[in-house]
Structure 1
Amino acid sequence: MSKLFEPTEINRLNIKNRFVRSATYEAMSGLDGKVQDQLLSYMADLAKGDVGLIISGHTHVVLEGQAGPRQMGIYSDDMLDGLKKMTATIHENGSLVAAQLAHAGKKGIGCGEYGPLGPSDDFEEKVLIASAMTAKDIDRTAKAFAKAAIRAVKSGFDAVQIHAAHGYLLSQFLSPHYNKRGDEYGGKLENRARFLLQVCDKVRESVGPSFPVMVKINSEDFVKNGMTEEETIEVCRMLEEHTVDAIEISGGTFESGKFTPSRAGTSKSEDREFYYEETAKLLKEKINIPLILVGGFLSFNVVEKAVTSGLADYIALSRPLIREPHLIKRWAEGNREKATCISCNKCFSTLSMEEALHCAAEKKA
């Protein structure tokens, strides 16, 4: 049996294989963020496809942290009934589920009292589009992450993942490209990482020592004056010290050109699938907690090599599972043909047309 299908463990959470569904914005919730039947059906299908651990789409912990319409929310106890239905659906169909706790920061879509906040004032054509967070804002938001984690526990989630990648709020604080602060949350890396570590500490305090807490972070920002690979490795060491149980490595922001988190058309050959191989090599020398890798994986032998070589403990997939939710089951049953995803990114363009997430290429075919 391939090592990919061995049972594994993250902080006493028994996972049936080494495959993770990386968090993906589904746009299948209500306008208030509550879970809808369409999302339940989508998650049931993923679970039937034998994904070991499903990570939910980014789930905003406060209203001003909403990144897009029909994004799932976890900012209020009013969300609990729907969230419980989702976790029950996933469990009934054989998978585990983690809630990704997120805040869009300057990319928030709210207005008025729920307008976007970020590490620093942000202007476009001399118009303020996001306001710098005050110390009170930072404290309130860290507590909101902790309250969201408690809701995740109450709702039956098996773990939480704190979203600190892709140029959203916690990623913005980490990155000098966005973070221009002159206080204890800006400047040197220790200060820029302070907010993320406070969030991790408060979440851990709220859920206890035996509940898995993970973090998703960029390998690099791939923008001018962005967070570097060396800084990422140092922050990951800090995260391990702050009792984080696993780290998922991604990369880029929506301002990173061809190095955005979901790179279009870059995986036509196997040697271009493993986006963050070099970062993984360096990280594995520095941290002892499980490493989840996402980024360009389409071929079974590439995925298997990443794990058997010791560079990854888990493989996370996003776009391939949008087109082929039963991909892992197909591979487990012996059909090891490459994923049918073509990395065209048309799945995400459907969201801008106010549709729910789906593979536009497959629909056209």
Structure 2
Amino acid sequence: MRKVFDETKIHHLTLRNRLVRSATWEGMCRAGGHPTEKLAAYYGTLARGGVGLIISGYAFVRPDGKQLPGQLGIHEDSFAPEARLLTEAVHREGGKICLQLVHCGGQTTARAAGAQPVAPTAVQIDQYPELPRELPEAEIADLVAAFAAGAVRAREWGFDAVQLHAAHGYLINQFLSPLTNRRTDRYGGSLENRCRFLLEISHAVRAAVGKDFPVMVKLNGSDNLNGGLDLEEAVLVARMLDEEGIDAIEVSGGTPASGGQTPVRQGIETREQEAYNLPLAYRIKQVVSCPVMVVGGFRTFELVEGVIRREEADFVSLSRPLIREPNLPRRWEEGDESRARCISCNGCFKPGMKEGGIYCVVDKVERESRAFSL
């Protein structure tokens, strides 16, 4: 019987357990995307906490793909010394780290990107902060090359894998979604055409990094939007990726425009509210041979254990709980299986905008209150 803390593998990558830190924007990089010692220390703390695999915050492959302040970049060779600090910090603690590659497309702004945002189609919808320009085919080829170049840098700088961010309404997802992709050329229309950009990136990355370096994808099982990518099409996309030899698929769901069904839902107070993407992940797992990760509201060890034991997914990904408790995996492994302390308030992201890095504001208030009472 499979267990959460069994040693396991993704392709040639050996992991100490089946818990994954899902990609989380930390806000700890310099303005141009250069990593900092603060971010390296943060990743070291996560690795020391016992999680099997750390997936980095989303790293933009071109400057016009940046969305938020303090976001990680992977577009310049000059980042090498700082990036190696990240991988070394994780490896010193016996952990493994995967770099997530992204271009935010129409979900960024001209102010953040330094230019008018780009998208598959120039449409003004709720998902986009402002009107993007439509990408010409020649520039699509440039973006494919940028993803491949970012993957090569990741491998050379000591990352153990890369993940292509094809979820949450960012550029690859924008090509997949009929809501945001209204093109009439070979990148639009049929699902095969809408999937072309993702598959071209996957091919280019694989050719650039070789067969032995793990390449993963984060995929929406559903955009949770009228007219967006739905589960039936997501299943077909996952099958295409599997046939192309992708090494793992992490299943998420939603976009910032998805109302109460965004990727980071609030108020997860009961077990019934947890694991909100599990039905999507389980459906995808039934049609692929590669490992499947699932993210979305996991707080209870018994539930995580059940998902692994019943083979509903191969890995369970956590994000916000590890902001409050980076040692949560080790706590569970050592026998304290009480529920994660995260209350799903999303307050952790506000310091990333204003103070140069995310942290749990509730935990800080509680610690300060205890110190004051002493």
SS in 1 for 2:4: helix
Further displaced range: 193-202 or 347-356 = 347-356
**For 1:317 and 1:123, how far apart are their aligned partners in 2?**
33
**For 1:327 and 1:337, how far apart are their aligned partners in 2?**
10
SS in 2 for 1:44: helix
Letter paired with 1:259 = Q
Letter paired with 1:152 = A
Q: Quote the residue 1:64 is aligned against.
A: 64
Q: Once the two structures are superposed, what CA deviation does each residue of 1:7-43 show, in whole Å capped at 9, x if it has no partner? A: 1011111111001100000000111111111101111
Q: Quote the residue 1:40 is aligned against.
A: 40
Q: Quote the residue 2:372 is aligned against.
A: none
**For 1:166 and 1:287, how far apart are their aligned partners in 2?**
21
**For 1:268 and 1:135, how far apart are their aligned partners in 2?**
46
Q: Is the 8 A contact 1:77 1:151 kept in 2?
A: yes
SS in 2 for 1:5: coil
Q: Quote the residue 2:371 is aligned against.
A: none
TM-score (norm 2): 0.94
Alpha-carbon distance, 1:93 to partner? 1.1
Letter paired with 2:284 = L
**For 2:52 and 2:217, how far apart are their aligned partners in 1?**
18
SS in 2 for 1:4: coil
**For 1:268 and 1:133, how far apart are their aligned partners in 2?**
42
Q: Is the 8 A contact 1:66 1:110 kept in 2?
A: no
Q: Once the two structures are superposed, what CA deviation does each residue of 1:96-132 show, in whole Å capped at 9, x if it has no partner? A: 000000110012344587431111113379x963111
Alpha-carbon distance, 1:354 to partner? 4.8
Q: Is the 8 A contact 1:106 1:122 kept in 2?
A: no
In the alignment, is residue 168 of structure 1 matched against residue 170 of structure 2?
yes
Q: Once the two structures are superposed, what CA deviation does each residue of 1:25-72 show, in whole Å capped at 9, x if it has no partner? A: 000011111111110111111010011110000000011010111101
**For 2:103 and 2:110, how far apart are their aligned partners in 1?**
12
SS in 1 for 2:99: strand
TM-score (norm 1): 0.96
SS in 2 for 1:122: coil
Q: Once the two structures are superposed, what CA deviation does each residue of 1:255-293 show, in whole Å capped at 9, x if it has no partner? A: 00100100000x211122111222233222211100001
Further displaced range: 271-280 or 223-232 = 271-280
Letter paired with 1:362 = D
Q: Quote the residue 1:241 is aligned against.
A: 243
Q: Once the two structures are superposed, what CA deviation does each residue of 1:304-323 show, in whole Å capped at 9, x if it has no partner? A: 00110011101100000000
Q: Once the two structures are superposed, what CA deviation does each residue of 1:147-168 show, in whole Å capped at 9, x if it has no partner? A: 0000001100000000000000
Alpha-carbon distance, 1:140 to partner? 0.1
Of 184, 190, 206 in structure 2, the residue corresponding to residue 188 of structure 1 is: 190
**For 2:255 and 2:162, how far apart are their aligned partners in 1?**
22
Q: Quote the residue 2:53 is aligned against.
A: 53
Q: Quote the residue 1:273 is aligned against.
A: 274
Further displaced range: 202-211 or 345-354 = 345-354
Alpha-carbon distance, 1:2 to partner? 7.4
Q: Is the 8 A contact 1:99 1:160 kept in 2?
A: yes
**For 1:2 and 1:167, how far apart are their aligned partners in 2?**
33
Q: Quote the residue 2:263 is aligned against.
A: 261
Letter paired with 2:79 = M
Letter paired with 1:57 = G
Q: Is the 8 A contact 1:121 1:128 kept in 2?
A: no
SS in 1 for 2:255: coil
In the alignment, is residue 121 of structure 1 matched against residue 122 of structure 2?
yes
Letter paired with 2:216 = M
Q: Quote the residue 2:214 is aligned against.
A: 212
**For 2:340 and 2:325, how far apart are their aligned partners in 1?**
7
In the alignment, is residue 131 of structure 1 matched against residue 133 of structure 2?
yes
**For 1:35 and 1:63, how far apart are their aligned partners in 2?**
15
SS in 2 for 1:129: coil
Letter paired with 1:69 = P
SS in 2 for 1:231: helix
Letter paired with 2:97 = V
Q: Quote the residue 1:203 is aligned against.
A: 205
Letter paired with 1:61 = V
Count of matched residue pairs: 363
Q: Quote the residue 1:151 is aligned against.
A: 153
Q: Is the 8 A contact 1:164 1:170 kept in 2?
A: yes
Q: Once the two structures are superposed, what CA deviation does each residue of 1:234-267 show, in whole Å capped at 9, x if it has no partner? A: 00000011111000000000000100100000x2
Alpha-carbon distance, 1:341 to partner? 0.2
Q: Quote the residue 1:302 is aligned against.
A: 303
Q: Quote the residue 2:318 is aligned against.
A: 317
Q: Quote the residue 2:7 is aligned against.
A: 7
| Structure 1 stretches lacking a partner, 5+ long | none
In the alignment, is residue 328 of structure 1 matched against residue 311 of structure 2?
no
Letter paired with 1:150 = V
**For 2:287 and 2:313, how far apart are their aligned partners in 1?**
13
Q: Quote the residue 2:342 is aligned against.
A: 341
